[in-house]
Chain A
Amino acid sequence: MANNSTRTAQERIASVLLKAFVGMTCFFLIFPILAIIPISFSSGSFLSYPMPGFSLQWYEAVLQPFPWLETLWNSLFIAICATVLATTLGTLAAYGLTVSRFPGRGLVIAIIISPLIVPIIVVALGVYFFFARVGLLGTFTGLIMAHTALGAPFVVITVLATLQGFDMQLVRASSSLGAKPMATFRQVTFPLIAPGIATGALFAFITSFDEVVVALFVASPAQFTLPRQMFAGLRDQLDPSIVAMSTLLILFTSLILIVMELLRRRTQRIMGGR
């Protein structure tokens, strides 16, 4: 949109309308998220303005061991385990898909990304049937495995994309300089694709950390995750402690986003600003 070209009046009007529309949409996207933050500091117990006063009571309520902190730890534990598993399996697979074009590669890719296409409820029900058979219902292992399956496709996609931008000449150069394959991977390939792996890992983490439906089916109260707890709370009654927890989660997510942006810049710097 070079604003110096010869433009007709209609074009100018179109440009103003576009900007107004974009502004309104951004407001629609951001407003509800920002609007709930002040309410979490309310001294009243209703979720409406004007607030009767300022108080941290709802944060106190949310920082109690039961149920909020316990479910938070469950969520973190499950998400971290699932992330480590998904990242390891996903990175290996992406590397394998890059170095060779074996027969059936297309089918393998289709299977690997299918968790993104299949509705989550179908996954949850299937996993429920399966876990019921093998005794994984109501276990951390079961939940971690299910979340790994949901997060791994993200890792594969991001690492595959990073590897496509990775100059395979570097691998040849490294081995021509006398590095053994493992040393080449450790010292050349890995450092260069690490930001891609980290991005994939963050996707996997968020996927698990934000997941409700599978938890709804396979978790027993001992494994209730934070989203599961919030879902129950929201169905039951909207109370300010959920809003306080939401505010904490917004902060947490923003922090993760900043980390990701820093990683992205680092990748851009190394890969030569693509």
Chain B
Amino acid sequence: MRDLADTAPIVQFRGIDKTYDGDVNILEKLDLDIQQGEFVTLLGPSGSGKSTLLMILAGFEEVTGGEVLLNGERLNNVPPHKRNMGVVFQSYALFPHMSVRQNVAYPLKQRGVPKAEIDARAEKALDMIHMKEFGERMPTQLSGGQQQRVALARAIVYQPEVILMDEPLGALDKKLREKMQIEIKHLHEQLGTTIVFVTHDQSEALTMSDRIAVFNDGKILQIGPPSEIYEAPNCSFVANFIGETNNFSGQVTAQSGDACTLRMANGAEISGQNILGARVGDAACMAVRPEHVKLDLEQVCSHALKAKVTGVIYHGDHIRYELDVPGARDVTARSNAHMQDALPEGQEVYIHWDMDKGRVLDPLSGAEGAA
């Protein structure tokens, strides 16, 4: 992550409210600052409001309340064509009646750039995305990945202050998606432009972003660098939405300093970090990443839980155990052991984890439990 602390934010959302019908809030009192040159990802399930926020920034949606600032100036009533932002849409929105080159030249034409310069800049943009030979093709003659590149070129060719990407890789297959993630990342490094990227794919967010803002129900639950979001989720939703998590629900029975103890439904007790300052008697849920779950044939420590291996799945670089743990559901563990050393199905084991790897968060709501 870059050091951005002392520069003024390029984009500021202040107290954004958005509703379509006056009843349901799509966005609620939302604040977000985006720094110059930053790659910020808005991550969340569909309907969480992340795309709406992007569309507000682009000028396609009006806010119900609050204000949007670009370089400190209010954007609220500025129409899209005067905002100077590059938008890459999920469906690319390439104009089908124009060639690749005409598509890329389009924004320059709107800005009255001289013809010769248009040609040169379009050519350079096409070169940057390795599409130089395809200038005369029509969009329909391109593959999905190629269309994606053209859409990118069209959004960067006029050097907008901010580039907005709305699930730009959603329509591509997995391999291509991963390739494009890296290319976009390189492009960001080359151009140094601020990028606001919307996705519901957590691995995409983790690989590409300087910062991730996790959305749910119109609010930003947590914002921070990818490693922080993954390793130190501040609520059950974030813990479950990003990466895999084992949830152990229970009631807080003891609390001391940073740590606390949770009693599960079946009476077993486990300990972990008290992230949200839960007090004795509170319902809570402990989140533990599968790679932090250790398996032993004997009880090596007092707070280990008894479990039984119900499934062994080979993943190549690791093995995944599905475990039946009394008092908890769908517990899994990751092990880097070789297959020949794997535990057999039906094996009785004890599971435990380091104290700081168990994070005691808010209790699960129904939906999150299923996620």
Q: Which residues of A contact B76 (CB under 8 A)?
A: 6
Q: Kindly state whether residue A8 has any CB partner on chain B within 8 Å.
A: yes
Within B45-70, which residues are at the interface with A (CB < 8 Å)? 59-62
Once bound together, how far apart are the Cα atoms of A226 and B224, in whole Å? 78
Give the residue among A4, A5, A6, A8 with the most B Cβ atoms within 10 A.
Answer: A6
Given contacts A2-B61, A4-B61, A6-B76, 6 further A-B contacts (CB under 8 A): A4-B20, A4-B62, A5-B62, A5-B80, A6-B60, A8-B79
Q: Which residues of B contact A269 (CB under 8 A)?
A: none
Select from chain A the residue with minimum beta-carbon distance to B52.
Answer: A4
Q: Which residues of B contact A274 (CB under 8 A)?
A: none
Q: Kindly state whether residue B1 has any CB partner on chain A within 8 Å.
A: no
Once bound together, how far apart are the Cα atoms of A2 and B78, in whole Å? 17
Q: List 20 A-B contacts (CB under 8 A).
A: A2-B60, A2-B61, A4-B20, A4-B61, A5-B59, A5-B60, A5-B61, A5-B62, A5-B80, A6-B59, A6-B60, A6-B61, A6-B62, A6-B76, A6-B77, A6-B78, A6-B79, A6-B80, A7-B79, A8-B79
Once bound together, how far apart are the Cα atoms of A163 and B16, in whole Å? 51
| Residues in A lying within 8 Å of B, measured CB to CB | 2, 4-8
Kindly provide the distance from the CB of B256 to the nearest chain A CB, expressed in whole angstroms: 52
Select from chain A the residue with minimum beta-carbon distance to B55.
Answer: A5
Q: Which residues of B contact A4 (CB under 8 A)?
A: 20, 61-62
Q: Which residues of A contact B20 (CB under 8 A)?
A: 4
Once bound together, how far apart are the Cα atoms of A4 and B20, in whole Å? 8
Select from chain B the residue with minimum beta-carbon distance to A8.
Answer: B79
| Residues in B lying within 8 Å of A, measured CB to CB | 20, 59-62, 76-80
Kindly provide the distance from the CB of A17 to the nearest chain B CB, expressed in whole angstroms: 19
Q: Which residues of A contact B61 (CB under 8 A)?
A: 2, 4-6
Q: Which residues of B contact A8 (CB under 8 A)?
A: 79
Kindly provide the distance from the CB of B235 to the nearest chain A CB, expressed in whole angstroms: 30
Kindly provide the distance from the CB of A174 to the nearest chain B CB, expressed in whole angstroms: 32
Q: Which residues of B contact A7 (CB under 8 A)?
A: 79
Once bound together, how far apart are the Cα atoms of A2 and B55, in whole Å? 12
Once bound together, how far apart are the Cα atoms of A167 and B105, in whole Å? 41
Once bound together, how far apart are the Cα atoms of A4 and B60, in whole Å? 7
Rank and list the top 10 A-B pairs by shortest CB-CB distance, nearest first: A6-B59, A5-B60, A4-B61, A8-B79, A6-B79, A6-B62, A4-B62, A5-B61, A6-B77, A6-B80
Q: Which residues of B contact A5 (CB under 8 A)?
A: 59-62, 80
Once bound together, how far apart are the Cα atoms of A5 and B60, in whole Å? 4
Kindly provide the distance from the CB of B152 to the nearest chain A CB, expressed in whole angstroms: 24
Kindly provide the distance from the CB of A14 to the nearest chain B CB, expressed in whole angstroms: 13
Q: Which residues of A contact B62 (CB under 8 A)?
A: 4-6
Select from chain A the residue with minimum beta-carbon distance to B75.
Answer: A6
Kindly provide the distance from the CB of A49 to the nearest chain B CB, expressed in whole angstroms: 45
Once bound together, how far apart are the Cα atoms of A5 and B20, in whole Å? 11
Q: Which residues of A contact B59 (CB under 8 A)?
A: 5-6
Give the residue among B59, B62, B76, B80 with the most A Cβ atoms within 10 A.
Answer: B62
Kindly provide the distance from the CB of B19 to the nearest chain A CB, expressed in whole angstroms: 10
Kindly provide the distance from the CB of A252 to the nearest chain B CB, expressed in whole angstroms: 42
Kindly provide the distance from the CB of B78 to the nearest chain A CB, expressed in whole angstroms: 7
Once bound together, how far apart are the Cα atoms of A5 and B76, in whole Å? 11
Once bound together, how far apart are the Cα atoms of A7 and B61, in whole Å? 9
Kindly provide the distance from the CB of A100 to the nearest chain B CB, expressed in whole angstroms: 27
Once bound together, how far apart are the Cα atoms of A220 and B77, in whole Å? 72
Select from chain B the residue with minimum beta-carbon distance to A11.
Answer: B79
Once bound together, how far apart are the Cα atoms of A7 and B78, in whole Å? 8
Once bound together, how far apart are the Cα atoms of A8 and B77, in whole Å? 8
Kindly provide the distance from the CB of A11 to the nearest chain B CB, expressed in whole angstroms: 8
Once bound together, how far apart are the Cα atoms of A7 and B59, in whole Å? 9
Select from chain A the residue with minimum beta-carbon distance to B59.
Answer: A6
